[in-house]
Amino acid sequence: MATSLETDLIVIGAGPTGLFSAYYAGFRGLSVAIVDSLPELGGQITAMYPEKAILDVAGFPSVKGRDLVAGLVAQAETAEPTYLLDRTATGLEADQDQVTLHLDDGTVVTAGAVLITAGIGKFSPRPLPAAEGWLGRGLAFFVPDFAPYRDRDVVIVGGGDSAFDWALHLEPLARSVTLVHRRDAFRAHARTVEAVRASAVEIITKAEVTALIGGDTLEAVEITVDGAVEKRPAQAVVAALGFVADLGPMKEWGLELDKRHVVVDSAMHTNLPRVFAAGDITEYPGKVRLIAVGFGEAATAVNNAAVAIDPAAHVFPGHSSEGS
């Protein structure tokens, strides 16, 4: 049954930037609703790397992804947000008076402004051709929990940050960890590559996993190196080959886009009235895609949205540490 909702600010995306935006909306005295196509809060962190140690968030020398999300959720709760999870925003209408957002379950939300914090949009993992049909029988694309890999032979396919991060975290738990990459150069951060090289992880380059072997469960893999086939024991394969991102229906909303990013100005305003954006989804000269940057953009966007919602408001609200 279709429902309707009115709020001051709609935030599209429940990742770190979206959650901090909700807190800041409450700080500005705005009511807020958060929409996300995933069923859980935390965006990519919750879906892909909740156990990963994040090192570049101010004030935290090291914080696990799930702990960062838990803190952001607790902070956002001060705004008493309305969560509309497991729903996709399909249509947006924006004019000088209000914005209207349509969701795939028929819900219609009207607001004074919209803030898009959808990260890379909806994402799906790139497949490992040799592993078709093995999902759930030893193949995984993400590692949200390290415990199931304890005392197992694990093969990780890929050369990016996720592949090396997971190799580093699994190495103390697994019986063995082998990282297979088709090139001898890696996309991962050099510091992480050095840490993996110094560990017990075996790195095989110029190689591909060409077959998974087993019955109901995985028993081994075939790795082809320079035309020669090697067989290795494996009870788990992690295909860390990246993912395909898609803005989905947002591409049809009339937003100015630079490839798959939303173009904003210094106020985080898009080309549409009352529509703002923050976080990884945005593009402007000098853009740096870090969680820490998203937090600052969220505050900028919410403060400017507050003025769009109420022209009598001020962009700068004062500091949160100031007394009433």
176, 204 in Cβ contact below 8 A?
no
The span from the CA of 257 to the CA of 88, in Å, is 19
Classify the C-alpha dihedral 90-21-254-93 as positive or negative. Answer: positive
**Read out DSSP for 261-313?**
EEE--TT-B-SSTTEEE-STTEE-TT----HHHHHHHHHHHHHHHHHHH-TTS
Tokens of 44: 């990519």
Tokens of 77: 């709760």
Binding-site residue numbers for FAD are 17, 36, 44, 49, 89, 123, 280, 321
Binding-site residue numbers are 17, 36, 44, 49, 89, 123, 280, 321
The span from the CA of 154 to the CA of 176, in Å, is 6
DSSP 8-state class, residue 14? -
Q: Which residues of 197-207 are buried (b: 16+ CB within 10 A; e: fewer)?
A: eeeebebbeeb
Tokens of 266: 């210094």
Tokens of 122: 């909806």
